Amino acid sequence: MSQHYVTGIDVGTYHVKVVISSETKESTVPQIIGTGYAESRGLRNGYIINESDVVRSVRNAVAQAEKASGVKVRHAYISMGGIGLDEIHAHGEAITSRADSVITQVDIDKAIEISEESIREKIPNRRILHAIPLHYVVDGEKVHGRPHELKGTKLEVDTLFITAFEQHLNDLVSAIESIGIKVDDVMASPLAGSLVMLTKAQKRAGCVLANIGAETVSIVVFENNTPTSLKVFPIGSNDITNDIALGLKVPLDEAEKIKRGGMTATPYSKKRLDEIISARLTDIFELIDAHLKKIKRDGLLPAGIILTGGGSGITTVQDLARVSLRLPSKIAMLDPGQNGKVRDASWAVSYGLCIWGMTGTEEESGINLARHTGSSILNWLKQFLP
């Protein structure tokens, strides 16, 4: 029997990270056998502005991972991030098809399809990445769990759709496939990261995972083990660097070192630095809090906020998040069981893609349904690819 390999490619604004994994009998999760890293070029806020630069960055990262693993990458799961990601909710209803009124997967799929049709005109320039059923109702009664094999004449579903701009998605898949790698499927970056950074207990109780990236902050909210909301804000840790440069009158490279706690030759006021950083982080947490209020979950997530991304390394971030959001706060930690090959949380998305590609499900969270949606995306994209 041949070895089963899965590759995850995370093309971020700041970096490209590639993880090659293999399936093992000893573990239920993929084992990392090789990683690759390259500085990202040609992207802004998560979308491509220069495809040739992106292709070069991806090729370099893939080559490193291939050399480390001894495996040639021919297929990959890729992430879609940036400000082009958004969410939209919809409601669908379907009459059960069987004469005995037993609800089947056909009925569930039909209800979700009808909910999708209801939003088509509202998203003319977007493609659906993920269709995640949130609640089912059978004959007016809410169902706890899946309605499969229950009896009823009318099935209703509330669905969360995660969408991306068609152009951004097309450009990303084109860049990956131009170097000879077939894209097996596409996943929203915040969801891929959640497969690694969140525990089962956190997702069941209710939490928000916040990734503070270089140019964007993405959040995904979980309740009852299901992603219920996803949002990306056009602000990131680069804004903190810029604020430090302006506030302390220092060059950008010095400001980046100061932000990261590195030693510099420039004297500066520690109090003034704390004020600058706190002001920008407070702006970020106010955006998150406003979104939680919009979905009526502010102060109501028992597992609190879990922070990841480059900006989560700032010393005061955990305390500021706790105060601003009135929620428990902690820094996400990676599972140390991967032999040190994944060194920090910035690898969570690429490894999460491997988990998704290898297992195809996440504790009945509904994300596995997106695999079918993703396949339709790829079929649609093929008409544009050379």
Grade residue 386 by pLDDT with cuts at 50, 70 and 90: very low
Find all residues with CB under 8 Å of 301, minimum gap 6, and list them: 205, 206, 207, 208, 221, 223, 292, 327
The domain made up of 5-82+166-196+336-381 is a member of CATH 1.10.1040.20: no
Q: Is the pLDDT of residue 154 over 70?
A: yes
Beta bridge partners of 330: 306
Q: What mean pLDDT comes out for the span 9-23?
A: 91
| 314 vs 285, residue with greater confidence | 285
Q: pTM for the full model?
A: 0.89
Find all residues with CB under 8 Å of 228, minimum gap 6, and list them: 134, 160, 221, 222, 295, 297
Lowest mean pLDDT segment, chosen from 34-43, 211-220, 257-266: 257-266
**Which pLDDT value is given to residue 368?**
47
Beta bridge partners of 329: 305
**Which pLDDT value is given to residue 13?**
82
Query: Which architecture does CATH list for 86-164?
Result: 2-Layer Sandwich (3.30)
Grade residue 360 by pLDDT with cuts at 50, 70 and 90: low
pLDDT per residue over 271-311, tens digit each?
999 999 999 999 999 999 999 999 999 999 999 999 998 78
pLDDT per residue over 181-239, tens digit each?
999 999 999 999 999 899 999 999 999 999 998 889 999 999 999 999 999 999 999 99
DSSP string, 278-346: HHHHHHHHHHHHHHHHHTT-TT--TT-EEEESGGGGSTTHHHHHHHHHTS-EEE----TTSTT-S-SGG
The reply to whether domains 5-82+166-196+336-381 and 199-331 share a CATH topology is: yes
Q: Which CATH superfamily is domain 199-331 in?
A: ATPase, nucleotide binding domain (3.30.420.40)
Grade residue 30 by pLDDT with cuts at 50, 70 and 90: confident
Q: What is the mean pLDDT of the chain?
A: 87
As given in the structure block, the two tokens for residue 22 are 């293999």
**Which pLDDT value is given to residue 343?**
62
Only one residue has tokens 């084992």, namely 31
As given in the structure block, the two tokens for residue 15 are 């970096």
Q: Is the pLDDT of residue 314 over 90?
A: no
- Quick one: what percent of the chain has pLDDT higher than 70? 89
Beta strands in the chain (DSSP E): 5-11, 15-22, 31-39, 43-44, 47-48, 75-80, 86-95, 126-138, 141-143, 154-165, 182-188, 207-212, 217-223, 226-233, 305-308, 329-331
3-state helix, strand, coil in the chain (%, to 5): 40, 30, 35
pLDDT per residue over 123-147, tens digit each?
999 999 999 999 999 999 999 888 9
Lowest mean pLDDT segment, chosen from 168-177, 239-248, 371-380: 371-380
DSSP 8-state assignment for residue 30 = P
pLDDT per residue over 77-127, tens digit each?
999 998 999 999 999 999 999 999 999 999 999 999 999 999 999 999 999
Q: Where are the domains of the chain?
A: 5-82+166-196+336-381, 86-164, 199-331
Numbers of helices and strands, H then E, in the chain: 11, 16
